[in-house]
């Protein structure tokens, strides 16, 4: 079903570390050169309605997870706790007219789960397109209320030699900073197998707390910072009223992980920069509320210990390892501190790192894709030759790989990173590609085992980082035209980090990752104006890594 048809069928404090990175880049460049408001205009007038669209996610060879939210009565808005429980039926068919139905079932939308429902449908054919819908009411009597129709796709069979797989890739979608045109353009690409969302699907701040440099484009609901379960439910509900988000969800299965803003900025296992226990209550209560709302409102299967780390397979072509880099990590340290190298500091937690290492070593897939919410490639300044750096770092208590800019990334947890990259090298694990969001910039990187001696010492993997959908980047903060003063900052970053092959500090947009047995290629697309709901999209750059090389190289045109 074309995306246009789908669309027509559907009615506190600044962030020091995240913003420090973007502001530092900007400074370098400059120096060098109420609850009802959560509902759409068309509310449920008298009976059940599907006001938040439909979605699917986590595709398997024989099934997919289906999602929707029912508004059973006009007062049963997200987070209200109001409204009766209602039976919701679902159907899956091979055609959008539902003449070839292959599966039916029913579940219950309850106030206890904010009237969201999920159906984990199995028994489907691999690598196949399906259509689905939900209904409430008397189907036999012809009075049932139907949801919009969604389109989804299953993964290839586990042992299939799939010729290719293609993902849309997005991150950092701040509601107040602009419109989600990137989602609309991905919805129009019906050849995608899924959309990979790498974190910061929403932001927790009060209205204006993380606004665009030019002001709030559209206000959050609720307007205050979200802390309680009801707050998180309302904020999720708002995002599911965006027409471009609804179109994307209704067209492609979503594969999502969280980063920090789904809970609070710079989250770690015991707290967050943007959480004050004395006024906002226990951290554990806030985390529990945020995670409950996330699993209610997102088409994601909870994994080990109620987190999002899990593994999906796309035939023998690709294994996708998805990480949770917030639930188990140690607290961040200040940039420039040698404590980043401490062996007792972790970003993954022991169990998750062992799980990842074992999965990478045992994979027989041609490509090992790793979804990571924060950048694994080192970004450091003040790097010295290895023979000088080691003794100076020892004497002065500095990080051994140079002065890291952002210790919220893997740069703040160098022992975990070294263990993982050494594992890739020692086990001869090739074709590992990290897929990353978070930093509001686009990057194409080799991932060196020892950055200080790269390229004499080899890279163990490659990394593609996508920019933000809407969240501020360098030109937004400086209030300058894109790609002007930031060019000097780009040059400075690349000069100090030779493994960085490309960097775009200014654009907003999305990526399209195309994987074949021979190569993995990321095509980077930019939108013309994040503040324009009708923004156009244009191809910007393409980079690929060829099988067996562990290096990225520029490609002169996108995959067609």
Q: What is the pLDDT of residues 110-155, one digit of tens each?
A: 999 999 999 999 999 999 999 999 999 976 556 899 999 999 999 9
Higher-confidence residue of 277 and 212: namely 277
pLDDT exceeds cutoff 60 at 8: no
pLDDT of the residue at 190: 94
Q: What is the mean pLDDT of residues 271-279?
A: 97
160-187: per-residue pLDDT in tens?
Answer: 999 999 999 999 999 999 999 999 999 9
Strand pairing report for 403-404 and 432-436: unpaired
306-365: per-residue pLDDT in tens?
Answer: 899 999 999 999 999 999 999 999 999 988 788 999 999 999 999 999 999 999 999 999
Phi-psi region of 534 (alpha: psi -120 to 50; beta: other; left: phi over 0): alpha
Which of the 8 DSSP states describes residue 336? T
Q: Which SS3 state, helix, strand or coil, does residue 295 take?
A: helix
pLDDT of the residue at 293: 98
pLDDT exceeds cutoff 70 at 6: no
Q: What is the mean pLDDT of residues 411-416?
A: 96
CA angle centred on 169, ends 471 and 480, rounded to 5°: 30
Among 234-243, 380-389, 515-524, name the one with the lowest average pLDDT: 380-389
Are 136 and 108 contacting, i.e. CB atoms less than 8 angstroms apart? Answer: no
Of all residues in the chain, the percent with pLDDT exceeding 90 is 77
Are 280 and 271 contacting, i.e. CB atoms less than 8 angstroms apart? Answer: no
pLDDT of the residue at 19: 46
Q: How far apart are CA 432 and CA 547, in angstroms?
A: 10
Tokens representing 504?
A: 């775009």
Higher-confidence residue of 473 and 20: namely 473
Strand pairing report for 194-197 and 165-170: parallel
95-105: per-residue pLDDT in tens?
Answer: 999 999 999 99
Among 14-18, 21-25, 519-523, name the one with the lowest average pLDDT: 14-18
User: How many alpha carbons lie under 13 Å from residue 253 in its C-beta half-sphere?
Assistant: 28
Q: Which helix (H) or strand (E) holds 360?
A: helix 350-362
- Note whether 3-39+155-555 and 54-153 share their fold: no
Q: Domain extents for the chain?
A: 3-39+155-555, 54-153
Superfamily of the domain at 54-153: Purple acid phosphatase-like, N-terminal (2.60.40.380)
pLDDT of the residue at 348: 98
pLDDT exceeds cutoff 80 at 12: no
pLDDT classification of 491: cutoffs 50, 70, 90: confident
Are 64 and 124 contacting, i.e. CB atoms less than 8 angstroms apart? Answer: yes
Which of the 8 DSSP states describes residue 87? E
Which of the 8 DSSP states describes residue 155? P
Are 373 and 326 contacting, i.e. CB atoms less than 8 angstroms apart? Answer: yes
The mean pLDDT of the chain is 89
Q: What is the 3-state secondary structure (H, E, C) of 226-281?
A: CCCHHHHHHHHHHHCCCHHHHHHHHHCEEEECCCCCCCCCCEECCEECCCCHHHHC
pLDDT exceeds cutoff 80 at 471: yes
pLDDT of the residue at 43: 47
pTM of the model: 0.90
Q: Which residues does 465 contact at the CB level (< 8 Å), separation at least 6?
A: 375, 377, 436, 437, 438, 439, 441, 442, 443, 444, 445
Q: Which SS3 state, helix, strand or coil, does residue 107 take?
A: strand
pLDDT exceeds cutoff 80 at 34: no
Tokens 């219950």 locate to 108
Superfamily of the domain at 3-39+155-555: Alkaline phosphatase D (PhoD) (3.60.21.70)
Higher-confidence residue of 406 and 429: namely 429
Of all residues in the chain, the percent with pLDDT exceeding 70 is 86
């Amino acid at each position: 079903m074309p995306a246009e048809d789908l669309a027509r069928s559907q009615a506190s404090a600044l962030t020091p570390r995240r913003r420090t990175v973007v502001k530092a880049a900007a400074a370098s460049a400059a120096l060098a050169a109420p609850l009802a408001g959560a509902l759409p205009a068309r509310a449920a007038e008298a009976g059940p309605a599907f006001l938040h669209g439909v979605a699917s996610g986590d595709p398997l060879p024989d099934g997919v997870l289906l999602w929707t939210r029912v508004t059973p009565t006009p007062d049963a808005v997200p987070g209200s706790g109001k409204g009766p429980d209602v039976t919701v039926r679902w159907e899956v068919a091979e055609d959008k007219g539902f003449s070839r139905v292959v599966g039916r079932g029913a579940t219950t939308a309850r106030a206890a789960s904010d009237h969201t429902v999920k159906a984990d449908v199995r028994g489907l054919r691999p690598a196949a397109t399906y259509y689905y819908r939900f209904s409430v009411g008397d189907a036999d009597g012809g009075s049932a209320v139907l949801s919009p129709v969604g389109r989804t796709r299953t993964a290839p069979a586990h042992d299939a030699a799939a010729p290719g797989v293609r993902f849309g890739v997005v991150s950092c979608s701040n509601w107040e900073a602009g419109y989600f045109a990137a989602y609309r353009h991905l919805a129009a690409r019906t050849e995608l197998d899924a959309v990979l969302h790498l974190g910061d699907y929403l932001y927790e701040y009060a209205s204006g707390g993380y606004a665009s440099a030019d002001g709030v484009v559209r206000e959050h609901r609720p307007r205050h910072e979200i802390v309680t379960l009801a707050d998180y439910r309302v904020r999720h509900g708002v995002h599911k009223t965006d027409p471009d988000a609804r179109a994307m969800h209704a067209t492609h299965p979503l594969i999502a992980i969280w980063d920090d803003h789904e809970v609070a900025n710079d989250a770690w296992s015991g707290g967050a920069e943007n959480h004050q226990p004395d006024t906002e209550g226990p951290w554990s209560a806030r985390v529990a509320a945020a995670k409950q709302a996330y699993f209610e409102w997102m088409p994601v299967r909870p994994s080990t210990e109620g987190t999002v780390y899990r593994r999906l397979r796309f035939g023998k072509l690709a294994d996708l390892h998805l990480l949770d880099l917030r639930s188990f990590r140690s607290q961040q340290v200040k940039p420039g501190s040698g404590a980043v190298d401490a062996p007792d500091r972790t970003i993954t937690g022991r169990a998750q790192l062992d799980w990842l290492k074992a999965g990478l070593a045992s994979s027989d897939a041609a490509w090992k894709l790793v979804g990571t919410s924060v950048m694994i490639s080192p970004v450091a300044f003040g790097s010295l030759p290895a023979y000088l750096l080691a003794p100076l770092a020892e004497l002065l208590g500095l990080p051994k790989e140079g002065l890291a800019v952002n210790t919220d990334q893997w740069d703040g947890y160098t022992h975990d990173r070294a263990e993982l990259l050494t594992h890739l090298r020692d086990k001869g694990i090739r074709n590992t590609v990290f897929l990353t969001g978070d930093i509001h910039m686009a990057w194409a990187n080799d991932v060196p085992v020892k950055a200080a001696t790269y390229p004499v010492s080899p890279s163990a993997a490659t990394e593609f980082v996508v920019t933000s959908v809407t969240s501020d980047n360098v030109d937004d903060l400086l209030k300058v035209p894109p790609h002007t003063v930031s060019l000097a900052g780009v040059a400075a970053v690349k000069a100090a980090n030779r493994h960085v092959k490309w960097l775009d500090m200014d654009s907003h947009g999305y990526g399209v990752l195309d994987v074949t047995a021979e190569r993995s290629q990321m095509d980077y697309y930019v939108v013309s104006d994040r503040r324009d709901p009708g923004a156009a999209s244009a191809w910007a750059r393409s980079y690929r890594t060829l099988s067996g090389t562990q290096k990225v190289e520029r490609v002169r045109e996108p995959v067609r």
